[in-house]
Structure 1
Amino acid sequence: MSDLQMQFAKAKLAGLPAIVPPVLNEAEEDTDHFDTGPPRDDDSSSASSASSTGTVIPSSDQKLFARSQGTPSKRTLNQIPWTTYFEREIFLESTTGEVTVRHHAYLTSPVGTAPLFVTHHGAGSAGLSFAVLTAEIRKLLPTAGILSLDARGHGSTTTSPEPETIDLSLITLSADLVSVVENTKIQMGWKEMPPLVLIGHSLGGAVVTDVAKSGKFGSSVLGYAVLDVVEGSAIDALQSMQTYLSTRPSGFATLESGIEWHIRSRTIRNSLSARTSVPALLSFNDETKPSRPWSWRTNLGATQPFWEGWFVGLSKKFLEARGGKLLILAGTDRLDTELTIGQMQGKYSLQVFPEAGHFVHEDLPEKTAMVVVDFYKRNDRSTLVLPPKVSDLLRAGRKV
């Protein structure tokens, strides 16, 4: 090689980097966002690596073959505030004898002639159990109103003076629901009661059915929906209730660990709903149990004297009450004989979500909302066009 060629080659090599960078596949360029969820059979990153034609040279700090962690990070377990779902929270006092109950509820007011969906949670739960569901309802029906209460002894509802045993009989809970709706109308200054759709889960299903059967809201009730509770199976389940209560934790070290337990145990299968509803089920007290300061607000074991009274006669009342009827279950095995016959006779609408757990509205809020909104639309009397009366036709001189 001549001197001229040598000088030319040195000038070219001087402009090149000392180490040639590795060739990266497009799918593997972003290494800052690893999936921290449980391993999946159809891992898309593995599939893209298998089909890669480039050469990947990992750096020393990359752990390409490390197993992903199954436990979600605390960031994904943060509490979601009620303000995400409702316009306001309200407090409504009612006094019976010497006992004053300060009911707590979440409210989004209906617009115009839109309906008010009134929700009642199950035993041990709280009004925020319906938060994600109601958000989905308003996506489909933006003018709809939502009223979701905390029953006495639950959530932020308080009783004064505080009794040793809170009265959670069906007759008392039904009276509470009527009082909350009527006092909400007064406090909000509504001229008349909006069209009502009552929705109850578990114990709440028994309460809304009892209220619908009483007829205390008259023609304002368009219909009522009962979520995953049937008289026969509910009474059977009560036999093992104390066993279940003995197996769940008595408390939690942190609020996040309480949320995680509900998700891990599949009590609530939707993490978004768990992060919203679970905080209202727990209260903080580091004096009695410093290691587990987050304990249950409601002592479900103490409610045992009321269990049977909640559900006896539920199927009969459900079929006889006026208004549209909707039953949403997590499995057809929950149907008892009376409801099976009623369903065959077309006395109510039935929807089954076998992929959901007991908290069907929390596990599948989008699907539940679609069913509930469709149920409302079928029972909305404002859209009915009635034929003219014969007397009006004769008065107008038309032949009949």
Structure 2
Amino acid sequence: MSDIQKALLKRIKQQEQAMGLSSLSEEADFEEIDEEDTPAHEDAIEDSFIIKKFTEFKTNFFDVIESYDHESLISQTYFKRPSSKESQIFVLIHGAGSSSMTFAKLATELHKLDKSVGIFIYDLRGHGYSSPSNDFSIDSLVDDLHSVLTEFVNKHNLQSNSLYIVGHSLGGAVMAKFLSQERKDLNVRGEVILDIVEETAVKSLIAMPHFIEKRPKVFQSISKAIEWHMNYLLFSRESANLSIPDLLNPDLTWKTDLALTQPAWEGWFVGLSKNFLSFKGPKLLILSAHETLDKNLIIGQMQGKYQLVVFQNNTGHFIHEDLPTHVAHSLLDFVKRNENPDKFMKDELGIVPKWGGKINK
């Protein structure tokens, strides 16, 4: 292994330890990695730059980086504080095979547009820097969410802040099932699903084994991993630079073995539409153009049970990474519309009811 490659791997370990994260570096014997499997000289330099910027983002953007312990399961969390007890907090939940850093660019856009809001993200079990796990059942993930949110709210005295929970893909299914039951202990004011529809999701699971088999088992470098994602899954390089590093171990293998999740697939998305529509508060569904509504969602849309936003732009399944500014605007408008509909109609739309009455939420 070349000196620059050794220096890069040493830097990864040092940065993880400096951030107080549970490092996986101890598990890899970097000296035994074959030369042909390590990044080339140019890739090593680029990787060093990517990791530097990625680490700076984590440490500079989030006010609190901490781990929660629940029944021997460690959940890694990141928190950008709201400006006051009256400010809203977005809770962002990622999907299978991803990590909380999939929301990195969306988080920066939300804060850029409205510095008063708070942002809370965490790694699901078996993802990112949370504990490894062989149990990915929907019920276990829902239980984790309840535990993490309860500790988060109580630890930081956020009982008076409104929570708006946003879930992408599997994260949307976890959120919807969690909120299908009344949660009086948490001040959840709204729910948002990003690019997941029950009927399409259930059908897509048929292709999952093929996808898992065909994707690379290991990458030559972080930059090569980013290139692979840009070729198959993402459209925004800027987002990819912030989301991909946490998907990989120091030896550049995947942190999450998606094959281990297969026993749980059958229960992930069944009942998603019903769960989403059963939440009594405001609801928002944001889709990319390739998704289509199923029967329950079509009926719910006709009955005005939720707000629908569909992006026709150049985007794939990871709409929050491809179009972070668009999604941020949609989320903030959703909050404004539901927190103070009269003010939203007047300030954002220039509409004042001539009859002088109040606008229903």
So what's the TM-score if we normalise by structure 2?
0.77
* Contact 2:138 2:174 (8 Å CA) reproduced: yes
Deviation at 1:333, TM superposition (A): 4.1
Deviating beyond 3 angstroms after TM superposition, the runs of 4 or more aligned structure 1 residues are: 73-77, 381-384
- Per-residue Cα deviation, 1:202-225 (whole angstroms, up to 9, x for no partner): 000001111211122557111110
Deviation at 1:332, TM superposition (A): 5.7
Aligned residue identity for 2:101: L
| CA RMSD after TM alignment | 2.2
* Contact 2:150 2:186 (8 Å CA) reproduced: no
Aligned residue identity for 1:122: G
* Contact 1:103 1:149 (8 Å CA) reproduced: yes
Aligned residue identity for 1:308: E
Aligned residue identity for 2:147: S
Structure 2 partner of 1:272: 238
Structure 2 partner of 1:395: none
- Per-residue Cα deviation, 1:268-289 (whole angstroms, up to 9, x for no partner): 21111111010110002xxxxx
CA distance in 2, matches of 1:321, 1:370: 23
| Bigger helix fraction | 2
Structure 1 partner of 2:146: 178
Taking structure 1 as reference, are residues 84 and 271 closer, same or farther at Cα in structure 2, changes over 3 Å only? farther
Deviation at 1:261, TM superposition (A): 1.3
CA distance in 2, matches of 1:86, 1:176: 22
* Contact 2:159 2:186 (8 Å CA) reproduced: no
Deviation at 1:334, TM superposition (A): 2.5
Deviation at 1:87, TM superposition (A): 1.9
Q: Equivalent residues in 2 for 1:1-400 (5 A)?
A: 74=46, 78-79=50-51, 80-81=54-55, 82-95=58-71, 100-112=72-84, 113-158=86-131, 166-188=134-156, 190=157, 192-217=159-184, 220-265=187-232, 267-284=233-250, 293-331=251-289, 333-354=291-312, 355-380=314-339
User: SS state of the match for residue 128, structure 2?
Assistant: coil
* Contact 1:197 1:221 (8 Å CA) reproduced: yes
- Which of structures 1 and 2 has the bigger CA Rg? 1
Aligned residue identity for 2:151: N
* Contact 2:62 2:79 (8 Å CA) reproduced: yes
Aligned residue identity for 2:316: G
So what's the TM-score if we normalise by structure 1?
0.70
Deviation at 1:128, TM superposition (A): 0.6
- Per-residue Cα deviation, 1:44-90 (whole angstroms, up to 9, x for no partner): xxxxxxxxxxxxxxxxxxxxxxxxxxx9x938972322224322211
Name whichever of 317-326 and 227-236 sits farther off.
317-326
Aligned length, in residue pairs: 295
- Per-residue Cα deviation, 1:12-59 (whole angstroms, up to 9, x for no partner): xxxxxxxxxxxxxxxxxxxxxxxxxxxxxxxxxxxxxxxxxxxxxxxx
* Contact 2:195 2:291 (8 Å CA) reproduced: no
Aligned residue identity for 1:154: H
Structure 1 runs not aligned, ≥5 long: 1-70, 160-164, 285-292, 385-400
* Contact 1:178 1:216 (8 Å CA) reproduced: no
Deviation at 1:110, TM superposition (A): 1.4
Aligned residue identity for 2:79: L
CA distance in 1, matches of 2:99, 2:47: 24
* Contact 1:77 1:256 (8 Å CA) reproduced: no
CA distance in 2, matches of 1:133, 1:301: 28
Taking structure 1 as reference, are residues 246 and 75 closer, same or farther at Cα in structure 2, changes over 3 Å only? closer
* Contact 1:107 1:148 (8 Å CA) reproduced: yes
Q: Which has the higher contact order (CA 8 A, sep 6+)?
A: 2
CA distance in 1, matches of 2:240, 2:49: 9
Structure 2 runs not aligned, ≥5 long: 1-42, 344-361
Taking structure 1 as reference, are residues 217 and 246 closer, same or farther at Cα in structure 2, changes over 3 Å only? farther
